[in-house]
Amino acid sequence: MEVTTDNILLIGSVLLFIAVLAGNTSHRFGVPTLLFFLAIGMVAGSEGLGGIYFDEPKTAQFLGIAALTVILFSGGLSTEWRAIKPVLWQGIALSTVGVLATALSVGLFVAAVTNFSLYEGLLLGAIVSSTDAAAVFSILRARSLGLKHNLRPTLELESGSNDPMAYFLTIAFTGLVAQPVAGLLPIVPLFIQQIVIGGVAGLGFGLLGKFMLNRLQPDFDGLYPVLALALAFAAFSATDLVGGNGFLAVYIAGVYLGNQPLIHKRNILQTFDGFAWLMQIVLFITLGLLVFPSQVLPVVGIGLLISAFLILVARPVGVFLSLAFFKMPARSRLFASWVGLRGAVPIVFATYPLLAGLEKAQMIFNIVFFISLTSVLVQGTSLAAAARWLRVALPDAPKEESLLDNLLRHEVKSEFVEVVVGEHSPVRGRRIVDLNFPKSAIIAMLKRRNHFVTPTGATALQEGDTLMILAEDPESLALVHEILG
């Protein structure tokens, strides 16, 4: 089937519809949803039932970068600083030392067992060196897998922050394969440049985003997520333009914004959750379309060998080396080694050698695709079982009740109060978003001149306003009284 401007929307909508239904079904049977998205693309491709011919690595790379930008930004927005602060250095170690050790281990192994040169082996190792944010976020969060020893925030932080290192190594070794005489030394200052500029730009765009979302005040509430989306793309492209690491900038900007008081923050988070799922579906289906199964079959043998080495040797080496100076039980390190999920990111990175016209680029792409497929299939389906076997899984927690549920059950009467904004109140004239309320307390309703108003972050408090406040505990309520004066 030929894709034209007349039928692209119809084909796309049908594939999206099938993907959503298949994903819902796969979750019930414990199969990673992303695997179904990838399979749908392959079935719809030129060698599948759909017969859609798609051989455009550049288009796939563009869509991949756009999708990863949204996925990383969304992951950052939903990351609580309070959760990752205790494991910040463990996450950084895994996303730098761990990625580098994994890339070097795989690269040396590939050069030893194949006819790949050392740089070609290191290029393949770099491409598969990072865990996939989309795979880790979707599997851990969709299954609500509770883990001991702060493992979950550590693994989510790693998956959200290790793409920059893998991206840098991929670009560097692609260049070295094309021009081996350049040597390794010049890539060190380039790495420092990318990380420093990416980190500073990420924080800068986070500050800019907070100003935009809280001060511009668009006429329509639906434009707030659009502003955030524009910010995410601007963070990546502008940082990349000045020589920084765009993926790092996007993730840092997302984490910063996710931990700041924002107008319509809940709306932004919910919208980006939908954006992230859409991007995951589009990304995996596109990469599935890009793959020709007949070209993958000849590399199954070497693909299995490299995949087994990556899962059983290289990933554990990277984890144990990077966490050597941190206190963590051995079984937790083993579980972290098993959560080395490879997904769409390595396949996207594998398009760079294709576009560079390297001699073994197509073989590298096919091997990487098979490794990603194996990783999601083997590791993704066994995470819960591995957590139980290694005794790092937490018992299923009872479902948390909302403040409203508790209120209706009359269990928090002491934490439901009314506060009147007086003439000399320090919050008079200030917007709710600027009050820095604790997350455990909300202004449920506002009464102004005998009329009830549903407050938003942009609502400015006036003298005489009666605030109806819900808090989870007396400590939160005390903090609220301190803020309101």
Residues 356-409: pLDDT tens digits?
889 899 999 999 999 988 888 888 778 878 888 988 887 655 544 544 455 444
Taking every pair of C-alpha atoms in the chain, what is the biggest distance, in angstroms?
80
The whole-number pLDDT of residue 178 equals 86
- For the chain, the straight-line distance linking the first and the last C-alpha, in angstroms and rounded, comes to 68
Question: Is residue 100 exposed (0-12), middle (13-18) or buried (19+ Cβ within 10 Å)?
Answer: buried
CA atoms within 13 A on the CB side of 307: 25
Contacts with 384 (C-beta within 8 Å, 6 or more apart), sequence order: 30, 143, 145, 393
Residue pair 359/342 in contact by the 8 Å Cβ criterion: no
Q: In 3D, which of 52, 57, 43, 98 has the Cα closest to residue 348?
A: 57
Q: DSSP 3-state assignment of 442?
A: strand
Structure-token match 């194996």, residue found: 374
Question: Is residue 219 exposed (0-12), middle (13-18) or buried (19+ Cβ within 10 Å)?
Answer: exposed
Q: In 3D, which of 135, 111, 133 has the Cα closest to residue 123?
A: 111
Structure tokens that stand for 477 in this block: 């309520």
For residues 406, 150, 480, 214, the Cα torsion angle rounded to the nearest 10 degrees is: -110
Q: In 3D, which of 414, 388, 412, 389 has the Cα closest to residue 402?
A: 412
Structure tokens that stand for 464 in this block: 């005489």
Q: In 3D, which of 132, 158, 152 has the Cα closest to residue 318?
A: 158
- One DSSP character per residue, 336-360 reads HHH-----HHHHHHTHHHHHHT-TT
Residue pair 404/162 in contact by the 8 Å Cβ criterion: no
For residue 236, the surrounding DSSP H or E stretch is helix 223-241
Tens of pLDDT, residues 91-116: 999 999 999 999 999 999 999 999 99
Kindly list the structural domains of the chain, giving each domain's residue range(s) and its CATH number in brackets, ordered by start. Answer: 8-389 (1.20.1530.20), 403-484 (3.30.70.1450)
Chain-centroid distance, C-alpha 371: 20
- One digit per residue, pLDDT tens: the chain, 485 residues? 666 666 677 777 887 787 777 656 555 544 567 677 788 888 888 787 778 888 888 888 898 899 999 989 998 898 888 888 889 999 999 999 999 999 999 999 999 999 999 999 999 999 999 887 666 766 666 555 667 778 888 888 888 888 889 999 999 999 889 887 666 677 788 888 999 999 999 999 999 999 998 888 777 878 889 999 999 999 999 999 999 999 999 999 999 999 888 888 888 988 998 888 888 888 888 888 888 888 888 999 999 999 999 999 999 999 999 999 888 889 999 999 998 888 778 888 999 999 988 989 999 999 999 998 888 888 877 887 888 898 888 765 554 454 445 544 444 445 677 888 887 788 888 888 788 777 777 887 888 887 887 787 778 888 888 888 888 777 777 888 888 87
Phi-psi group of 240: left, alpha or beta (phi > 0 → left; psi -120 to 50 → alpha; rest → beta): alpha
Question: Is residue 295 exposed (0-12), middle (13-18) or buried (19+ Cβ within 10 Å)?
Answer: middle
Which residues lie across from 393 on neighbouring strands?
A: 147
